[in-house]
Chain A
Amino acid sequence: MSTATASVRRFLWSVRRELWETRSIYLGPLAVGGIILIGFFLALVPLPSRLRAAQALGGAELRAAVEQPYVIAAIILMAVDLAIAVFYCVDALYGERRDRSVLFWKSLPVSDVTAVLAKAAIPIVVLPLVTFAATVAVQTVMLVSSTIALAAAGLSASMVWQHVSLFEIWRINFGHLVAFHGLWYSPLYAWLLLASAWATRVPFLWAALPPVAVAIVERVAFNTRHFQTLVLDHFLGGSDIGNPGGHLTMTMDMLSSGHLDELLISPGMGIGVVVSLVFLAGAVQLRRYRSGM
């Protein structure tokens, strides 16, 4: 086994290990997907009458009415992705020291780089993919079930199929999850992992306080808010890049704007990835030095 294959192998096993430990990584999106479906099934009962009414409106409003549940489902699952990612990162490097299992992991030939990269891969790669899979499953069930409900009511499902182009939604959703929730947010995850590796108690406070402190110091000392604006713009404004209007409408357009390419090559993305790597390098060093509390 060559060194490279061995490293990849150890990385993949380490990722798998994370999934064993934190089952909410896949159970969370699945559970929320199930809840969404329950709500959707309840809405199937009045669906035929609602569609008849919406038909009168026509055009964009009809489309919005039909498409909306699919978009809401995607957005809820994205929020779940973010929540799980945050909670996961905060505990990832802290928990293994708290229960001392880090002494077991470190007795095995897995380097700190591999271990930290595996943990970083969860929010950056694994969670977006799992969320995408959950979204596809949920939306497929939604489409099939509404088709059946409409057919039962004597309506043609063509209206739904016409306005909900799942493949288009999935393409956009996939790009958004990978580029935005994975890469664009990676400095947040890397920062949380760093705080998690650093903290001997309450890692959440270690994650939250330094940025707040920097903002306060800047505000008091210079009466400016550059740091605060920078951070908030990055994490709240990223989806507006290439979307000058910036109006959030409840359609798939909000997520796409067809501007993922611009997001990917924007300076914010490049700087974010570099910042992430710096934080992760810090987390690797901390894991090396800290085997206990």
Chain B
Amino acid sequence: MAVIDARGLRKTYGATVALDHIDLQVEEGRIVGLIGANGAGKTTALNALVGLTPYEGQVRVLGRNPWTERARLACDLCFITDVAVLPRWIRVSEALDFVAGVHPRFDRRKAEAFLQQTTIHERSRVRELSKGMIAQLHLAMAMAIDARLLILDEPTLGLDLLYRKQFYDTLLADYLERGRTVLVATHQVEEVQGVLTDVVFIDRGRIVFNRSMETIESEFHEVLVHPARLAEAEALHPFAAREGIGQRVLMFEGVDPARLSVLGEVRTPSIGDLFVAVMSAHPSRAEGAVTR
């Protein structure tokens, strides 16, 4: 059974279609990056999956209906929408007490052990902590929850590079180790691409790309085309092109790299470049999603 199984997930706000019949299946143990521009529907999609917002369509997360079973789902699901949502009045010790009191899978000692590596004191109130320390606190609590699924929505928005890196490295390393499933939404692709097993691009409420990293590595190639071979390269139907430094870079899907290697230098595209390429290749498809 898929950990996340969404079929025909749709969400509208008045005349605006935020999610337009999304199908998304995530198997156990995958680390999926949901990547899209601001306003593409990432947050709406994640909010639907964690039970924060009602939706149309069939959605099962860990076998549960997130909208009607949010609280029960929250026992096995850990989600962080933003690290800036910890209440400012709460003391660190109170936050730990409360989570320990209501969450059956929270290991307080683990959270405390993590906090000991930081400069956060248990007596402090959240409002006295810096943004980075609040992120560390949230991270400590998330890591101490033995959840089957972790859903993150731009959790490090507005944080220093140092904390962002620590956040992902620590949290994802922990999850990878335990073979848990992770769905992380971001528009800062570089941060997470090293750990992802799957990549999903979302644009204006639709999923426009959904591949595993293995598929991307074997099927997608970008070629820094030798100027003399440009016409030859264009004949192989690249699905996107951009100007590199003094060279044209063409993106191919499903073309034998042996054939491409004669045209120029062949590389596996970065997720960021692939994202731009896919987005520019599907403009018409995406435009229909805005309103209907």
Taking the complex as formed, is A291 at the interface, i.e. its CB lies under 8 A from any CB of chain B? yes
Q: Which one of B54, B72, B103 has the highest number of Cβ atoms from chain A below 10 Å of its Cβ?
A: B103
B75 at the interface (CB under 8 A from A): yes
A106 touches B (CB below 8 Å): yes
CB nearest neighbor in B for A11: B102
B154 on interface, CB distance cutoff 8 Å = no
Interface residues of B in 28-81 (CB under 8 A from A): 47, 50-54, 70-72, 74-75, 78-81
Docked-complex contact A6 and B52, CB < 8 angstroms: no
A100 to B70, CA, bound (A): 18
B101, A107: Cβ atoms closer than 8 Å: no
Separation of A122 and B144 alpha carbons in the complex (Å): 30
Q: CA–CA, A103 to B103, complex, Å?
A: 16
Flag whether A108 is at the interface (Cβ < 8 A). yes
Q: Please measure, in the bound complex, the distance between the C-alpha atom of A103 and the C-alpha atom of B52, giving whole angstroms.
A: 8
Query: Considering only CB atoms, which chain B residue lies closest to A111 in the complex?
Result: B71
Decide if A106 touches B88 in the complex (CB within 8 Å).
no
Our pick among A13, A101, A107, A288 for the contact of B79 (Cβ within 8 Å) is A107
Residues of B within 8 A of A1 (CB): 104
Is B104's CB under 8 angstroms from A107's CB? no
Q: Give the residue of B85, B89, B97, B99 whose beta carbon is less than 8 angstroms from that of A21.
A: B89
Q: Which residues of A contact B74 (CB under 8 A)?
A: 106-110
* Nearest-neighbor residue (CB-CB) of A101 within chain B: B87
Cβ 8 A contact of B104, one of A6, A104, A288: A6
Question: In the complex, how many angstroms separate the beta carbon of A115 from the nearest chain B beta carbon?
Answer: 9
Which residues of chain A are within 8 angstroms of B80 by Cβ–Cβ distance? 107
- Minimal beta-carbon separation of B21 from chain A (angstroms): 22
Compute how far the CA of A109 lies from the CA of B50 in the bound complex, rounded to whole angstroms. Answer: 11
Query: Contact between A289 and B102 (Cβ–Cβ < 8 Å)?
Result: no
**Residue from the list B54, B71, B81 in contact with A289, Cβ < 8 A:** B54
Q: Say if the beta carbon of B90 comes within 8 Å of chain A.
A: yes
With A106-B70, A107-B50 given, is the CB distance from A13 to B87 under 8 Å? no
Report whether B82 and A20 are in contact in the complex, using a CB–CB cutoff of 8 Å: no
Does B236 count as interface, using CB distance less than 8 angstroms? no
Q: Give complex CA distance A99, B86 in Å.
A: 9
Q: Per a CB cutoff under 8 Å, which of A9, A104, A110, A291 touches B71?
A: A110
Number of interface residues of A (CB under 8 A): 29
Q: Are A21 and B90 in contact, CB atoms less than 8 angstroms apart?
A: yes
Q: Which residue in chain B gives the minimum CB-CB distance to A21? A: B89
B227 to chain A minimum Cβ distance, whole angstroms, is 52
A163 within 8 A of B: no
* Chain B CB within 8 A of A17 CB: yes
Question: Shortest beta-carbon distance, A16 to chain B, in Å?
Answer: 8
Main secondary structure of the interface of A (DSSP, over half): helix
Q: Does B13 contact A (CB under 8 A)?
A: no
Name the distance in Å between A107's Cβ and chain B's nearest Cβ. 5
Closest to A22 in B: B89
Query: Once the chains bind, are A104 and B47 in contact (CB under 8 Å)?
Result: no
Q: Does B27 interact with chain A (Cβ within 8 Å)?
A: no
User: CB distance B70 to A13 under 8 Å?
Assistant: no
A108→B99 contact, CB < 8 A = yes
Q: Judge whether B84 is part of the interface by a CB distance below 8 angstroms.
A: yes
Q: How far is the CB of B75 from chain A (nearest CB, A)?
A: 5
Inter-chain contacts of A102 with B (CB < 8 A): 85
Interface residues of A in 101-135 (CB under 8 A from B): 101-104, 106-112, 114
- Asked if A107 and B81 sit within 8 Å, CB to CB, the answer is yes
A96 to chain B, nearest CB (A): 8
**B residues less than 8 Å from A99 (CB atoms):** 87-88
A170 to chain B, nearest CB (A): 32
Residues of A within 8 A of B54 (CB): 289
| Residue interface mask A86-104, B partner, CB < 8 A = 1 | 0000000000100111111
Shortest distance between the CB of A104 and any CB in chain B (Å): 5
What separation, in Å, do the CA atoms of A174 and B74 have in the docked complex?
39
Q: Is A63 an interface residue (CB 8 A)?
A: no
Which chain A residues lie closer than 8 Å to B86 at the CB level?
101, 104
- The complex places the Cα of A9 from the Cα of B102 at a distance, in Å, of 7
Pairs A–B under 8 Å by Cβ, sample size 22: A9-B102, A10-B101, A10-B102, A12-B101, A13-B101, A16-B101, A20-B89, A20-B94, A100-B85, A101-B85, A101-B87, A101-B88, A103-B52, A103-B85, A107-B50, A108-B98, A108-B102, A109-B75, A110-B102, A288-B70, A289-B53, A289-B54
B: residues with CB less than 8 A from A are 47, 50-54, 70-72, 74-75, 78-82, 84-91, 94, 97-99, 101-104
A interface vs B, CB < 8 Å?
Answer: 1, 6, 9-10, 12-14, 16-17, 20-21, 96, 99-104, 106-112, 114, 288-289, 291
- In order of increasing CB-CB distance, the 8 nearest A-B pairs are A13-B101, A101-B87, A111-B71, A109-B74, A103-B85, A104-B85, A109-B75, A10-B102
Known: A17-B94, A109-B75, A289-B53. 11 other contacts (CB 8 A): A10-B101, A12-B101, A13-B102, A16-B101, A20-B94, A99-B88, A100-B85, A107-B74, A107-B79, A108-B103, A109-B102
